[in-house]
Amino acid sequence: MKIKIYSFFSIILLISTAAYSPFQSEDEELIEVFHRINDEVLANSRAYETLGDACKTIGHRLTGSANGKRAEEYAYNLLKSYGIKDVKYQPFQVEAWSRDTVTLAIAPRKSDNFQDVEVVALAMTPVESKIKGDIVDVGNGLEPDFQAVKEQLKGKIAMVNIGLLPPIKGTRNLHRSEKTALAIEYGAIGVIFVNTVKGNVLLTGTASVTGALISIPAVCISLESGMQVRAWISDEPKLMAMIDMKNFSKVIKSRNVIATIKGSDKKLKNEKIVIGGHLDSWDLATGALDNGLGSFSILDIARTFKALNLKPKRTIEFVMFMGEEEGLLGSKAMIERSKKNNSMDKVVFMMNLDMANNANGFNTSGREEMIPMFTKMGEFMKKIEPTYKNNIINQAGLHSDHQSFMLEGIPTASPIGGIAPEALGCYHANCDKFDLVKKDEMVNTVRYTSMMLYGLANTETIPAKKLDYYSTRDFFIKQNLRKELELGRAWVWGDGQ
């Protein structure tokens, strides 16, 4: 009897073990691949070196410029040199903007004693504009700030902080283009942005919510200049500003660069994961941080997959977007083309790397369904590298190429980590240069993002599904992003909830 009972429980144990073994085996296999990825990146990563070379030999990567074209070719040739056969350009037309001259002068209203203030033009501002008007200080430029001065602002020049001064905990800032849109809505004839970073740093970036030229001039002055102007206002409340600018704008062709590793699984190979980051940068410096960090990490992730001859179950597209800085133009073009050739439904996930640095976790971008999977993958990474923090946040945001995919209901994620405060202040600025980049931090981004990408590409089921039209609307409402999308003219669901 004991023998029979023992045999019965042995059979049950064998059945239970057999049922569990494949899952356990898959985990062990995944961890083994993670080990290989980790070793390869630590030994052979080229992200830091290639970014340094590009910054030195190309300089800035402004969309539509000769430098932008050289950057596209650099990325294409680099991917080919890694042995990836399926590399292509994806051309699109873009209204390319570039700066010419701009001056800002300020004086008391009843005086001709104008004083020049160092300034840079924001992008997508008029080809030519010369205005004079009283300055109205709108503070942080949030909608309540504009509401508070709405009776004073029409026909005047708004002065607005780029960031929030002082920082307001729990308050979501608006993008500079959204603040410009509000200034136009409230009748301003121009905008003077005040940078919120110390050190006489001048910042540029698009002032357009649509990617098209705006109707009024928008410029940026340093924090120190802004403090001086506000000191003048306290002594002389009626200050005038004179903005004189000239720029260039014309329709040109630009190109996304796409490398594809096709899926190996019969069932899953038609599902596609896009890992993308924008290759373009502004022209005040070399764009090493924004977005050399992200785009050149992606190039090295592609190199890593090829070097290890990894065969993901799902198809992976490694995308260098152009035109992000001027209004997500490259990612919008990719979405538009995918809709035309009926391949949009194949995209099941998008991972965006924009200023990604020193990765120690991931943002699941408002799709809480992904948290358990990302957490589990992170635990596997910790087995390989115990210092990996496996931080997970779940906050959706806008204003990078992932936005184009989120608007289609596609789940997105991004690596999170950090850029040193002294370097972060050079975002979009004249100090965004390669000496701010740290090799070990780029290596961390490459190895951990490579592991997570491989895990996503090989899981049997991605927990977050593509949202339908109305579920996408509800998602943005839940994430408190409706107002931002309305200001950006990207809210497509009308007035109804």
Query: 21: which residues sit within 8 A by CB, 6+ positions away?
Result: none
User: Are residues 282 and 429 located together in one domain of the fold?
Assistant: yes
Q: Tens of pLDDT along 363-417?
A: 999 999 999 999 999 999 999 999 999 999 999 999 999 999 999 999 999 999 9
- Residue whose entry in the numeric block shows the structure tokens 């993002």: 449
DSSP codes, 95-107: EEEEEEEEEEEEE
- Look up residue 173 and give its two tokens: 């800032």
- pLDDT of 4 over the 80 cut: no
**pLDDT at residue number 24:** 62
Instruction: Tell me, yes or no, whether 55 and 109 share the same domain.
Output: no
3-state secondary structure of 426: coil
DSSP characters over 158-204: EEEESS-SS--TTPPPPPHHHHHHHHHHTT-SEEEEE--STTT--B-
Residue 14 located in a structural domain: no
61-101 pLDDT, tens per residue? Answer: 999 999 999 999 999 999 999 999 999 999 999 878 899 99
- Percent of residues, the chain, with pLDDT higher than 70: 95
Indicate whether 287 and 430 sit together in one domain. yes
Confidence of residue 15 (pLDDT cuts 50, 70, 90): very low
40-72 pLDDT, tens per residue? 999 999 999 999 999 999 999 999 999 999 999
* Size of the chain, expressed as the number of residues it contains: 497
- Rounded-to-integer distance, Cα 203 and Cα 104, Å: 15
3-state class (DSSP) for residue 232: helix
Q: What is the pLDDT of residue 108?
A: 87
**Whether 240 and 357 share a structural domain:** no
The answer to whether the peptide bond before residue 291 is cis (omega within 30 degrees of 0) is: yes
Q: Are residues 237 and 266 in the same domain?
A: no
User: What is d(CA 187, CA 184) in angstroms, rounded to the nearest whole number?
Assistant: 5
Q: Are residues 221 and 363 in the same domain?
A: no
Answer whether residue 11 is part of any domain. Answer: no
Q: Which domain holds residue 385?
A: 28-86+262-466
**How confident is the model at residue 496, as a pLDDT?**
59
Helices 47-57, 293-307: crossing angle, 10 deg rounding: 130
Q: Is 371 within 8 Å of 296 (Cβ atoms)? A: no
* Residue 271 sits in the same domain as residue 419: yes
> Which residue matches tokens 């020193």?
358
Other CB atoms within 10 Å distance of the CB of residue 459:
17
166 upstream amide cis, omega within 30 of 0: yes
Residue 492 falls inside a structural domain: no
Can you name the residues that pair with 134 across neighbouring β-strands?
240
Question: Based on the structure, what is the number of domains in the chain?
Answer: 2
User: Does the residue 490 lie in any domain?
Assistant: no
pLDDT of the residue at 494: 87
Rg from Cα positions in the chain? 25
Query: Both 70 and 111 in a single domain?
Result: no
Which spans in 82-163 are helix H? Answer: 143-148, 150-153
pTM over 0.85: yes
Q: Is residue 23 part of a domain?
A: no
Same-domain check for residues 109 and 218: yes
For residues 297 and 442, state if they share a domain.
Answer: yes
Does the residue 9 lie in any domain?
A: no
How far is residue 487's CA from residue 328's CA, in Å, rounded to a whole number?
Answer: 15
CATH number of residue 275's parent domain: 3.40.630.10
Kindly report the CATH number assigned to the domain that includes residue 122.
Answer: 3.50.30.30
Whether 254 contacts 322, CB under 8 Å: yes
Q: For residue 365, which of 328, 394, 389 has the smallest C-alpha distance?
A: 394
Decide if 432 is inside a domain: yes
Residue 21 forms part of a structural domain: no
Instruction: Report DSSP letters for 240-286, one per residue.
Output: EEEEEEEEEEEEEEEEEEEEEE----TTTTT-EEEEEEE----SSS-
Is residue 229 domain-shared with residue 311, that is, in the same domain? no
Q: Is 87 in a helix, a strand, or coil?
A: strand
- Indicate whether 143 and 188 sit together in one domain: yes
